[in-house]
Amino acid sequence: MPLRIGCCSLTEMIPKKGASKVLGDWEAVRLADGSHLKEGASRDWGFMNVRIDIESGKVVDDPGQPGSHDLDEPVGLQSHSNL
């Protein structure tokens, strides 16, 4: 399923009528919905472009798209003390 998940998105599932099992007995009401957010879902990601090795069934080493990774440094308001 080509589904992209955004930060703070919501997924709502309800049990199907007469459900007796856990696996497969759920119906999706909404998937990765960002309509409750002022600017909609953001920073979304998915598995559509993942390459899987047919023989091993494992994800092929993929560095991703340049510039798409978060910075590995403090972001936002910081509190510093000079003790």
Q: 22-77, pLDDT tens digit by residue?
A: 777 888 899 888 888 888 878 877 777 677 888 888 777 766 666 655 556 666 66
Does residue 82 sit within a domain?
A: no
Prediction pTM value: 0.47
- Residue 19 or 80, more confident: 19
Residue 59 lies in a domain: no
Q: In terms of residue numbers, what domain contains 38?
A: 4-46
The structural domain count of the chain equals 1
CB count, 10 Å around CB of 9?
Answer: 20
Taking the C-alpha atoms of residue 83 and residue 81, their distance in angstroms, rounded to an integer, is 6
Structure confidence by residue, pLDDT tens digits, 52-66: 888 888 777 766 666
